[in-house]
Structure formats: C-alpha cells, structure tokens
Chain A
C-alpha cells in the first residue's frame, strides 16, 4: 500500500504540485559527452509505441474478451502467477541456472571463485589456491623445493612441510585420514594426463594446460591444445628418458622447464613396472586424482556451449 502522504497527494485535488513545465531537450544532452568507449554502453531512453497485436497486450486483451463473452470473474480464481526471475551462471562454458540468488552465490563461490589465472583450475578456497599457485606456477618454489621441505600440509594449522608431494600425500592419508583420492592434491606430474577413458569423464573436470591462451575464444583453443598433447605425450612417453623428457620440456612453456625435468628425474625410478600405464611418470591409475566434479572455467573437453 502507498504511504499515507502519497495517497493524500494523489487524491487531494487542492494540493499544489509543481507541474512539469520544464525542459525536455530531446536527446540525451543531459549526459556529458562520454569517452570514446561510450559507445560500448548503448542505453538511451526510448519511447515505446506498442501496436495492437503486441504480445505485451495479450493478457489484457484476453481479459477484455472474456468479459465480452460473459466469462468475467473479478478476482481470478486461478491467480495468474507472478513469476520471479531466475538466475544463471554466465561464466563461459557454465550453464547452471538457479531459482534464488543464494543458490547462485553458493555455486559461484564453490566453483568459480578461487580460480588459478594461469591454468584456470578451480580450487575451493583461497588457501588451497595459494598453495596451488605456489606449487604449480612458481619457479622459485620449484628451485627451493629441491633443497628444502616446501610442500605444506593441506590441513590448516598443521604446519608441517614435506620434501615431495608424495610424502605430503602420505601424511594426509596417514595422519589426517584423508582419502587417497583427495581431489585437491593433484600433483603436477599429472599434468597433461589425459586421464583416460577408464577414468570417469562424466563431466567437466578440467585439467591443466601449459600455455593458456588469453584470447576470447578460450575454450576452443585450450581444448585443442589439450587434445593435442596426449598424442605427443603418448609417443614420447613410450620412451621414457631424457629424450622424452626433453621433448616434453620443449613443448611446455619456458618457466616450466626446470620443474618438469625435475619431475622427470625424480620419478624415473618409480616407473619401472611393465604393467604400469604408459604415462610412466604419472601417478598410477589406482590412485585417481582430479577427476573431480569441479567445474572449472572450461566446460570440459571440447564441450563448449
């Protein structure tokens, strides 16, 4: 209901109201002239003329004709439902829709907020994001890790550090009772792992890429890059060793060189079993990482809306 003073305003014929004897310079001279980017923002006030058959008039017309045909009912028995706008995640590649803002916020905070700029991977918290960036994209870290314990325990407050991620993983499992397949402790060695068809590819878990293209058509480019890699990887890794490692290194971006070769070196000796998958310095498939349902910025391999 209207406030009482407004009711009075509109019903009291004697109230003095300033009439609109003003302006109306046609056009938008009220706005100061914008910078040259002003044409990005295109809104101008518009007089809207609606012709007889316009859809905006449909309900009113129907009501009128129901009245003419003696079918009028005053306050409708079936109340026309007033509907509320839905929300939708507009992040490129994500098409989730929500009834409420809270749902939207939860979705966004869970899946899109803590995203690594370099590799577009989504982490659930700022801390895990920080650790991820450190361990994956920081060359200084890589160097230091060779000499000291740099891999932090993921449990906040624990404070322990480890020389390798494997050791940390063991710690997490043993001491903190983490599952062996904890999703947010993927190691860098899995990069480029086209976790094979055997792993669930049920959705949009997106893996790392080396070279992230900054252009708009991000999805296609990245997916292409990614799909190219395993072929390379496969053939290369058939021949584990310097050569393979070196070739991998070449295809990676410069800052990763050191790390990769380090990784290659450190895991060479673990990749001896003939039954192991071809990706020799990768984590065995019994231990799965990263096939989480985390929805990153990219909607999955090649899946671009």
Chain B
C-alpha cells in the first residue's frame, strides 16, 4: 500500500518572527476564485463611489490683487512660479508651493491685457491698455533698486494680446493688427491685417514655431506664417472666438473658446469643419488651456465655472465651481499637468487639482498599486449603468443647472422645428446640417 496524505509544515506558511511580514501563499486556480466578474464589479462600484467621496478639487486661493485678474502666465522653467496681471495694471509674481506673493509691480495704467514669459525664463513681457509693451526681468530688484522695465515700447494702438516665440527672440502682439516684433527693435518687423480692425488673442504654434493663430472680432480665426508677408487662411464662424490654444502634443489641432458657449477643436489643415464641438458651458467661454499631455484641456467661462474636457469628447468630464468664484477670466493648466489655475473677476486666483479625487503627495508603492488597480476596474466597468450614473454625477449651482436644462429644451425645440420644416418642404430643400458644420460660415484662403 502506498499512501500520501496532505500534511503541511506550518513553518512554510507562518512567519518565523513577529518582525517578518506575514506569508501569503497564492494559487491562481480560477475554481478557487469563484464570482470573478461580480466581485470585480463590486470593487469597481466601490472605487467609483470612493472617487466621488474623495473628489475635493479645490486646493486654495491666492488673494492679493485689488482688481479682477485679467491674465495669467506660466513660468517656462519653474513649476512653482506663476505670474498674474490684474485690471488695475498690477502684476504679481506668486510662489505656488508657499502660496504667497513674492513680488508686486505696477506695470501699466489700466488693464494688463497680456503677459508672457520668455522661453528662457529670465524675463517676461506685458502689454497693457496704455499702449505699451514692457519687458521685465524675472528677478526681483535688489534693495533700494527701482522696479523698472528692461525695455518699453510705445505702440500706436492698444494691444490686446501677446505671445512669445518658442525659440527665438521674437514675439507677437495683437490689437488692431497682428504685429511680429523683434526683441531688439522698437518697431514691428511685420504686420498682418486682413480686413479686420480688432484681434483678441494671438498664439504661436508650439511645434511649427513659425506659425501663429489669432482670433479676430469679425468672428474669424486667422492663421499666419511668420515668414510670409500675408496671412495663410481664415475660418469665419457664426460667433466670435475669444481665445485659442494649440494642442501641445498634436500641434495641428487647436481649440478655440467661443462666445456661443461652445469650444471648437479644429485641425489646422481642414478648417471646413471642426474636429469636435465641445458643449456644456452655459455662457460665453473666455479662456482655454491644454494639459501638457495634450489629452485634455480646461476652459473658463462667464458662467462662473471651470470645465475640463477630454480632447476627443463632446462633453466635459469635470466641472469646478465655488460659491464665491465669479466670472472666470483666465485659466492655466500647470506644466506638470497636475494642477489648474484660474483667475476670476473677484480678484482671486484659485488652485485646483486636475484630477479631483487624486491623492496629493508621495504615494507608497502599495497605494499607487491600489490606485492603478481601481482605475483599471473603473475603466473596465465604466459603461455599466449604475457605475456610470455615479461617476457622471456632479453637483451644479442651481442657476447653471436650470440654464443647462433650458438650453436643452431650446435645442430640442429648434431640432423639432427644423424637422417639421423639412417635413413640409420639398425633399432636399432643407438639408440635414450636422452640429459640426452648423457653426462654420466660410473658409477664406
């Protein structure tokens, strides 16, 4: 007779001393782990609920301005530095990690309209309502030294926007026309006009560095090549765009913030139809900025909310608002892609997390693993109705909630009416126009 009976040596399964960690032998046999899918589903549901519980995006506010914050600028080299310009012409430099103002300077009389940090990070430019462009040193002046700009250029008209070239000492301003300036000269090296008398924003392309785009008051977005004497092409839309931002990773895409409550992502090469229409705001969108990953962007609106949109989704994934935040004028996504900074009417700059439920600080490896695991589970079960309902739910201020509802009703009514018109007219007389095509009037080359 040959016999063997299961007999486990406890030494192989129990830790030797109390200082050791417990032994956990594993066996991945599926029959020992029944209900794989329902258990994962339960975990995903719990993870989704916890995500909503821990969603506390507001980190803090930087106050000190004595008028509304009109523009923000990221430092190109330092993550912890932020520049802000207000409506009374004051520029403040902030240390974000300490959340304090490190320098204040009276840059202009009237509004500070635009501000940009030079690519080297040692100086910055401001434009204001007093028709000047000022070039400032980044360093704080020493004790007893006067706060003076390195250079001041007096323009002929008011400047409304400013952007700096990525690699060279060249910057662009906009106002009545788009001007390209050399840092060494006091007159523009090139000026572009195209039958418009006012521009609201100008942006250099981050990859094709000679390309620019600007938003004009005649509801158009104009593209330029710095090396050519005339603009490249423009697209005219039904409403005016306030600002635009290039996608930093796929730099042929740009997104513009429009007065008609929507944002439009265009492919620079095909302006006939936007790639995506991003809806959700209930008032004019004032500013937009891309995350450095190029996957998402954040928008600031007159409806007192900040929304985060995935690059390829029609609706926002997140909305931020507080009771005290008024019209959000300017927005920036920090260069480490973790934070969002918003400047608003009521003189505050607010610091938000880009991912509302993210835990800040150093994570232990096990914490990181658990977070990754739950993230994957949430992705896996995201389309189950209960999980989707919880993940999508956001509390909105009453006014915005009602306006959203109202807009939905209006849109539905318009659609219904169009359908009726189509029904009662000659077949083909009222063609079906998609939402993307609706907002483009013409493309001019």
Q: State whether these chains interact.
A: no
